[in-house]
Structure 1
Amino acid sequence: MLFEQQVNDDQELELDEEELEIDFVELDKLQDLGINAADITKLKTSGITSVKAVIMTHSRSLMKIKGLSEAKIEKIKEAAGKLIKSDFITGLECAQRRKSVIKISTGSKEFDKLLGGGIQSSSITEAFGEFRTGKTQICHTLCVLAQLPSSMGGGKVAFIDTEGTFRPDRIRAIASRFGVDGETTLQNIAIARAGNSEHQMDLINLIAAKMAEEQNYKLLIIDSVIALFRVDFSGRGELSERQQKLNQMMSRLMKMAEEFNIAVVITNQMTADPGATMTFMADPKKPIGGHVLAHASTTRLYLKKGRAETRIAKLYDSPDVPEGEAVYQISEGGICDAKD
């Protein structure tokens, strides 16, 4: 089976848990350094759920929390700095921390090979493409595969649905392919239907609090990340505000990915590019979200239709894997390698 080899490869590493430095420190630890419980509760209510989140949040944003003065924020920041090292580290220390990164298989060996082993944690992976290219099917498949046990341990999944595309029956079918119980798999997926872009951000903060409490999540999916923003912000007059809100959301997602060592997967839509049409480019389409999504996403995948029932995944951008393509197929059991 596809994942037996993956588990064996993971076990060969035999990483000492003490060597995997995780920066997650519970917010309540601040009490040991003189921060009162009421102020910690205020932080949690605002979506700041760990000591690292305090360090990564701008003081100006903390000032917006009712009841926190400039003096209190300075004291909280100082206490957080004592609990987590937030200055320069050596490249060797960075390499050691990277050992905690896990990789979630897509269900296709060729797809995994393209990604260097699978979807990585502590980063954001964006999959964009036209309809019927498999974006939602990849999300369904990852919901199951993120739960499969490995030497690093399988975990729960959070799914924010913005277009009403989540289907429990697909989860059951994919779970059956990999020999796991469909009902148990569904039980381990936290699903929320976002009604607007503001609600979408609220749900992100809500699941962050849940992750801080349970600490057993491995994957967060948003399908799709841009849909509600296109509805709430229309026309050029609101484009600047939309991009600002989108940028804030992507920044929050990146912090969560690093804070909880989870994989964040977002799907994105495409639109016609009039400028590309005028210059006779081969593909006059582009992903929505502009430079905000382009810079915030660690890995970008361009999904296209192939011959017959096949689909093509093109690695559009990645910091550690060269550009390339992989052919895959959508089956009853989710994403799989294309048949000859």
Structure 2
Amino acid sequence: MGSRNRTDEIDVSQLDERLEREVEKAGVKNCCKILLSDPSELRKLGNFTEDDIELLKRLASSTVLHSEFVTANETTSVYAARWKRISLDCPVINTLLGGGIPSRGITELYGSSGAGKTQICLQLAITVQYPEEHGGLASGCVYICTEDRFPTKRLQQLLPLFPRNRIFDPKKLEKAADRIFVDHIPDVESLNECLSKRLPVLLRNHKIGLIILDSIAALFRSDYTNRQMVQRAKDLRTVGSLLHKLSSTNNMAVVCVNQVTDSLDTNQTLPALGLVWANMVTTKLQVKIANPNGRQFLVVSSPDVPTGSCGYQITQGGIEGL
């Protein structure tokens, strides 16, 4: 059992020579990408017939859904590559998160204004570029702004200070700013167009390990009247589905910044946008100002990490846990 070779990619040796060449040329080996892509999308990538696409989907299915049982120990290696994490280069917060931000599903980061949400996002935009052995994905970042201009000045302040403790050669981050792709989105329609059309084109030409949407709330709180709540729910599900598909197909992390609202029933501060969006989120993280001189970072819910919290501060060099 332990010697079986398991992978996220199809075994091209099982294909005939022509189809193997087409797959290699198109770079379509990832099982999730094959299974989640429409036939029309696959035909755009390579010279595939309908029979070719059916064969590729069957092969991807058999690779992902094995016919035999696996042991509990084997699942660790089987899913290790699919559940990578992005370090924040902060030991305290990394420990709380089980290593960092997960690369699967949607991670929601919510909190009040001034709590440090954008600071954390900028830090992740840098650390996702770290080598994998140092907690990164050796990949770039897509940073989508919906409220304010991208904080270029703050990014330039942070870049010379990473990696912290010089855990690897800083020269590897010399062009980090060139691997952060920024887009400013004014409305929901533009966001859908970005996620469904422009972003897939970017992903074919650049290795991206993280999408940051700062913030999801800005668009869905301002673009709708009280009479349009049904349409808003549909649009939220569409955006959530697109983000989940991008994460699963490309094995990348998705971080969505959210605003907060006060609950009159529980007297608690809750993430905005209600149950529709809450049900689309995989991991919930909260940052809050606990008192004039202190802040708290909380894991509210996660599929594989216990709830917990730690203090943190915002320094010249970014977020640091206490």
Note if contact 2:106-2:254 (Cα within 8 Å) is conserved in structure 1.
yes
Q: Which residue of 2 aligns with 1:126?
A: 108
Q: Which residue of 2 aligns with 1:228?
A: 219
- CA-to-partner distance for each residue in 1:64-116, whole Å, 9 max, x for gaps? x9x9xxxx998676244234126634555654332113221224322111111
Distance 2:96 2:112 in 1: 20
1:78 equivalent to 2:69? Answer: no
Distance 1:178 1:24 in 2: 37
Q: Which amino acid aligns with 1:157?
A: C
Note if contact 1:305-1:312 (Cα within 8 Å) is conserved in structure 2.
yes
SS at match of 1:296: coil
1:260 equivalent to 2:283? Answer: no
1:96 equivalent to 2:77? Answer: yes
1:201 equivalent to 2:187? Answer: no
Assess, with a 3 A threshold, how the Cα gap between structure 1 residues 95 and 50 changes in structure 2: closer, same or farther. Answer: closer
Note if contact 2:139-2:208 (Cα within 8 Å) is conserved in structure 1.
yes
1:248 equivalent to 2:238? Answer: yes
Assess, with a 3 A threshold, how the Cα gap between structure 1 residues 52 and 209 changes in structure 2: closer, same or farther. Answer: farther
Match 2:148 to one of 129, 145, 164: 164
Distance 2:147 2:11 in 1: 35
Distance 1:95 1:118 in 2: 17
Match 1:177 to one of 127, 142, 161: 161
Assess, with a 3 A threshold, how the Cα gap between structure 1 residues 309 and 201 changes in structure 2: closer, same or farther. Answer: farther
Q: Which residue of 2 aligns with 1:287?
A: 271
Deviation at 1:153, TM superposition (A): 4.9
Query: What TM-score comes out, normalization by structure 2 length?
Result: 0.78
Q: Which residue of 2 aligns with 1:22?
A: 8
Q: Which amino acid aligns with 2:77?
A: Q
Distance 2:253 2:242 in 1: 13
Q: Which residue of 1 aligns with 2:204?
A: 212
SS at match of 1:203: helix
Query: What TM-score comes out, normalization by structure 1 length?
Result: 0.74
* Equivalent runs, 1:29-48 vs 2, <5 Å: none
CA RMSD of aligned residues (A): 3.5
Q: Which residue of 2 aligns with 1:108?
A: 90
Q: Which amino acid aligns with 1:55?
A: L
Deviation at 1:282, TM superposition (A): 4.3
Deviation at 1:183, TM superposition (A): 6.3
| Structure 1: 5+ residue stretches without partners | 1-17, 42-47
Deviation at 1:20, TM superposition (A): 6.8
Deviation at 1:25, TM superposition (A): 10
Assess, with a 3 A threshold, how the Cα gap between structure 1 residues 336 and 24 changes in structure 2: closer, same or farther. Answer: farther
| Structure 2: 5+ residue stretches without partners | 164-169
Distance 1:76 1:240 in 2: 40
Deviation at 1:217, TM superposition (A): 1.3
Distance 2:93 2:120 in 1: 11
SS at match of 1:259: helix
Note if contact 2:110-2:285 (Cα within 8 Å) is conserved in structure 1.
yes
Q: Which amino acid aligns with 1:325?
A: S
SS at match of 2:148: coil
Note if contact 1:162-1:227 (Cα within 8 Å) is conserved in structure 2.
yes
Deviation at 1:164, TM superposition (A): 1.8
Deviation at 1:233, TM superposition (A): 1.7
Q: Which residue of 2 aligns with 1:44?
A: none
Distance 1:311 1:156 in 2: 29
Q: Which amino acid aligns with 1:170?
A: R
- CA-to-partner distance for each residue in 1:138-196, whole Å, 9 max, x for gaps? 11111111112233752111111111242112112211111546761211101000011
Assess, with a 3 A threshold, how the Cα gap between structure 1 residues 32 and 266 changes in structure 2: closer, same or farther. Answer: farther
1:52 equivalent to 2:32? Answer: yes
Deviation at 1:245, TM superposition (A): 1.1
Deviation at 1:332, TM superposition (A): 1.4
- CA-to-partner distance for each residue in 1:254-313, whole Å, 9 max, x for gaps? 121121111111111112323x2xxxx342x32122223222211101211123433111
Q: Between the two proteins, what is the percent identity of the paired residues?
A: 27
Note if contact 1:136-1:165 (Cα within 8 Å) is conserved in structure 2.
no
1:336 equivalent to 2:313? Answer: no
Distance 1:251 1:91 in 2: 30
